[in-house]
Amino acid sequence: MGSLFSHSWPQLIQSNQAWQQKVMEAQQATLQVMVALQEQAHKEMMAMVQAERTANEARFLTEAAAGEAAKHRAAEAEEERKRTAAIQEQAKKYAQAAQEQANKLKKAANEEKRKAANESKKLAEEKVKVANAAKEEAERKLKQGIQPVVTPTHEEVSATKRKVQYREDLFHLAVAGVAGGGKSSLINAFRGLRNKDIGSAATGVTETTLAMARYASPNAEYPYVWYDYFNAQGFYVFDCIIILFDNRFTMTDIAILTNCRRFKIPTYIVRSKADQHIRHIMKDMGYDSDDDEESEDQKKKLYQAARQRFIQQTRQSVKDNLENANMPDQRVYIVSNESMLGVVKDKRPKKAIDEIELSNGLIGEAQTRRARRDAEAVTIMR
């Protein structure tokens, strides 16, 4: 047993030493690993620190760079704002200057317009003065019998005859007067027609046409042609001219009367609508058509008084008008259309005034003038 123990102990020590050697080697290896791990961790930590430092430095640099850029942009923006403000200020000055110039131009234009208006007004006033002077001169000459009418040539007479459809076998009578004066109604009465009859001349206040209207007698046995005549042109072809008078002569009336005297054309001054004028005077004298108590004898007396007043007033009015025109006195024929119509139809109207004398005078004058014209034509032919 001792031998066995003495034999195994060295082996055991040797084995233990070997084991301890291995343990030490293992510990040393472990230590080396740990040191390596520590170094690796340290390196990694240092790398992390360095990375963080680098990152911080980069962030700082970035923030610094951004701040500089922002400052630069802010400076540029401020410069741009200043430039814009300067441009706006300059534009404002330009606008103010332009507005002031526009106001000056507008004021100048208004002044020129006012001057032009004043000049136009002065020119218009001058034209009115000239026109009035010409009118006064024409009226003065007209009153003195000085007419701007010259003797027509043969060609003018022929042209006028064609215009009025002149026929040698007819008597041509013209009725002259203002529009609405009763020319058409009087022509209808001379032709034996009432205003509503077929073929009658149109009646109204205004002229229905600017052309000279021609109306032949509806009875072929009466060789008369009537004309609604409104101016003083071509009067020399008519056998007789009636001046239909109202309250006063017009310049055309005076011109026709004067020129007809120069050309020896018979004229008749006529005032129609006598019945209407007499009724108006009766009303002015107190006549009431609705008064049944008034006797027929009273009405007749009132009518006679109104009739006599109208006749006297009319004759005096014509006399005054002729004197004012420096023309000789001439009879005025006072008629009513109704009574004239009765005379033409061979009746004897009870209220006739000058209708019969007018009818006889017109026919006699027309025949006398035609006979004289025929005699002159024969003399020329010889």
| Contact criterion met (CB below 8 Å) for 144 and 197 | no
Distance CA 250, CA 178 (A): 8
Name the more confident of 158 and 233: 158
Q: What is the pLDDT of residues 320-366, one digit of tens each?
A: 988 888 889 999 999 998 998 998 888 888 888 999 999 888 878 76
The DSSP element (H or E) to which 239 belongs, if any, is none
The amino acid present at 372, given as its one-letter code, is: R
- Give the closest residue to 319 by CA, choosing from 308, 334, 333, 329: 329
**Does 19 score more than 90 pLDDT?**
no
Q: What is the pLDDT of residues 248-261, one digit of tens each?
A: 777 778 888 888 88
Banded model confidence at residue 380, pLDDT cuts 50, 70, 90: low
**Does 22 score more than 90 pLDDT?**
no
- What is the rounded average pLDDT of the residues 51-74? 73
Task: Please tell me the predicted confidence (pLDDT) of residue 145.
Answer: 47
Pick from 28-42, 137-151, 295-309 the range whose average pLDDT is largest.
295-309
**Does 109 score more than 50 pLDDT?**
yes
Q: Say whether 209 sits in a helix, a strand or coil.
A: coil
- What is the rounded average pLDDT of the residues 161-182? 86
The CA–CA distances, whole Å, from 344 to 220, 290, 326, 348, 356 equal 14, 33, 35, 10, 9
User: Of the ranges 58-62, 279-283, 332-336, which one carries the lowest mean pLDDT score?
Assistant: 58-62
Determine if the pTM surpasses 0.85: no
Banded model confidence at residue 148, pLDDT cuts 50, 70, 90: low
The phi, psi pair for 204, rounded to 5°, reads 170, 175
